[in-house]
Structure 1
Amino acid sequence: MTIESVNTDPNITRIYIVRHGQTDHNVKKILQGHIDTSMNTTGLIQAEKLGEFFKNLPIDYFLSSDLIRCKQTLNEILKNQDYDESSIRYTSNLREREMGPVQNMLLKDALEKYGPNFRNFGEKEEQLCSRVETEFNKLLDSDYKNVIFCTHGGVITRFCNYLHSDLGFELNNGLTPNDLRVPFNTSITVVDYGKSAKKGVIQSFGGTDHLGGKFEVKDQLLR
């Protein structure tokens, strides 16, 4: 089974974790956190391509951060899906990490004022993982075969590291822990969970083939 084909195994829950499209804050290197920013024109184009990727992959359930940049991204996926409103849910549990006093600051200003320690302000990583895990576990306990999980770069990075290092999810296809870094806008990460074996696998991380190439985030301090 490849990630380009829909999962048909009722014993497996496949979760497509996607990051929202680009915002002006991403471009300007402003720390977003819970700031409710919209996608820019580039982000919309990225999200349209993401929607095209999922056009032939029927999704059972759609879970998203309630911030507008994720809602806009999910909307482009929904344009190519057959769904009803009961299969969509938006939640603050999938928001980016709240960053305290550095939220909405330029990255360079945060570094100048606080140094690398700026990353320790605001919500603790264990708090982030706890709220995201609450939503993730609901999906694992469901009958859904294919799920969209639309969230933010910092969430994807930290939670996938948590899945691997703390919950024992395996890495597939040559992935290493060093690959679990902040992924590109509208990237696709695929996680499979076998219900009988109670075993999870991160099948792929941060894929951007739908954008026409391999793209990575250069500044890993940005959220």
Structure 2
Amino acid sequence: MRPRTIFLLRHGQTDFNVRGIVQGSGVDSSLNDVGRRQAAQFFAAYGHVPFDKVYTSALRRTHESVQQFLDLGLPHEAHTALNEISWGVREGTRITMDEDAEYRQVLAGWVAGDDNARLTGGESPAEVAARQRPFIELLKSRDDEETVLVCMHGRALRVMLCQLLNYPLSCMEGFEHSNLCLYKLEYTGSVFTIKNFLDVAHLQVG
């Protein structure tokens, strides 16, 4: 089979991103003006790509980030498996490393290999990985989709990349992300490899 190309995209900027407020899977925010401009810049750079399918999470900020592709009539599926990690009772609040001991402890646990650590009422990386796996198998099975666009969320993107590249979840901090950044992968039918890492070249134009 010919290698397939997977575009993994993080959603554009929201006002919550600017204010440092965690959204998780429970805050269904929209893009702000900057986020909409980022989405337009990405479309300007990649609108010519013949995507066979567009996948998003069930949250509107991912839909809005790829809306111009959807307006072309491209096939689209929304999957809750692609939703952001749940930050539990802390969703909608500001969390910083400096001010929040529980947050520091949980993140340190993840780096140390504790995939089951979570904030109160939230999800662990192991739980996010488990709900992503059926989607990953679905993606692998659809070999008629040679080029696909997947728009999701920062922490969930890190978990996804660890799974696709066979890294332990403790390595996820190595996959940096920013709003409307791109990770471009190639899939041979057995192995995923990264071709573009934290690519934001499309945002530097103009």
Which category of TM-score, normalised to the shorter sequence, fits these structures?
Answer: 0.7 to 0.9
Give % identity: 23
Residue in structure 2 matching 1:102, options 67, 80, 90: 90
User: Corresponding residue for 1:163?
Assistant: 164
AA matched with 1:70: T
Let me know the Cα RMSD of the aligned residues. Answer: 2.3
- Asked if the contact 1:102–1:110 (Cα under 8 Å) also holds between the matched residues in 2, the reply is no
Aligned residue identity for 2:126: E
Q: For residues 109-131 of structure 1, what are the alpha-carbon distances to aligned partners after superposition, in whole Å with 9 as ceiling and x for unaligned?
A: 99436351355211110111122
Match of 1:151 in 2: 152
Written as runs of structure 1 = structure 2, the 5 A alignment for 1:61-100 is 61-79=53-71, 81=72, 83=74, 87-100=75-88
Query: 1:194 is matched with which residue?
Result: 188
Q: Secondary structure at the match of 1:107?
A: coil
1:17 equivalent in alignment to 2:8: yes
Aligned residue in 1 for 2:47: 55
1:164-187 deviation per Cα after TM superposition (whole angstroms, max 9, x unaligned): 3448xxxxxxxxx79843311111
Residue 137 of structure 1: aligned partner: 137
Taking the aligned partners of 1:82 and 1:67, their CA distance within structure 2 comes to 19
Distance 2:172 2:62 in 1: 26
Letter matched to residue 30 of structure 1: I
Change (3 A) 1:209 1:179: farther
The answer as to 2:104 corresponding to 1:116 is: yes
Displacement of 1:39 after TM fit?
0.5
Distance 1:163 1:50 in 2: 23
How many pairs does the alignment contain?
189
The 2-side partners of 1:61 and 1:112 are apart by 40
Task: Give the AA of the match of 1:78.
Answer: L
Residue 116 and residue 131 in structure 1: after superposition, are their counterparts in 2 closer, same or farther (change >3 A)?
Answer: same
Maintained 8 Å contact 2:183/2:197: yes
Moved over 4 A (4+): none
Question: In structure 2, do the counterparts of structure 1 residues 110 and 32 end up closer, same or farther at CA, with 3 Å as the change threshold?
Answer: farther
Letter matched to residue 105 of structure 1:
T
Distance 1:152 1:32, change over 3 A: same
For the Cα contact (< 8 Å) 1:180–1:205, is it kept in 2?
no
Q: Which runs of 5+ in 2 are unaligned?
A: 108-117
Aligned to 1:7: none
| CA–CA distance in structure 2, aligned partners of residues 69 and 157 of structure 1 | 18
